[in-house]
Amino acid sequence: MPKGPIPRPSPLDDPGNARFAWARYRRIMRWMGLVTCGVIGLVWIYLYALFGFVSIHLYIASALGVGFTVMLMAALMGLVFLSSGTGHDESIDDLLDDDTWK
């Protein structure tokens, strides 16, 4: 019976690397929060130019929808950048690779 691969440690297991990576992730999220506020402002200006002041509920719903969508995208892409930038992706073993079982 073949033995399984020996797991390689992730660079995120090192507290210094993890601290740096999460600080970078928080910095990305802060910047994206500012960008999101700007985008919401532009959407409000566009909606006001298109419809005028219709209802406060239109503006609240548009802010929540645009804000949630952009911040969710930023959070997921930030996690991709964190995983790729720290080398965590390379530490994962591919169980379908024949070289892994040798």
Q: What are phi and psi of 63, to 5 degrees?
A: -65, -45
CA distance 34 to 14: 31
Q: What are phi and psi of 48, to 5 degrees?
A: -65, -40
Name residues whose C-beta falls within 8 Å of residue 32's C-beta, 6 or more positions apart in sequence. 70, 71, 74, 78
What pLDDT, in 10s, does the model give residues 17-58?
788 888 889 999 999 999 999 999 999 999 999 988 888 999
Give the distance, in angstroms, between the CA of residue 19 and the centroid of all CA atoms in the same chain.
Answer: 17
What pLDDT, in 10s, does the model give residues 55-80?
899 999 999 999 999 999 999 998 88
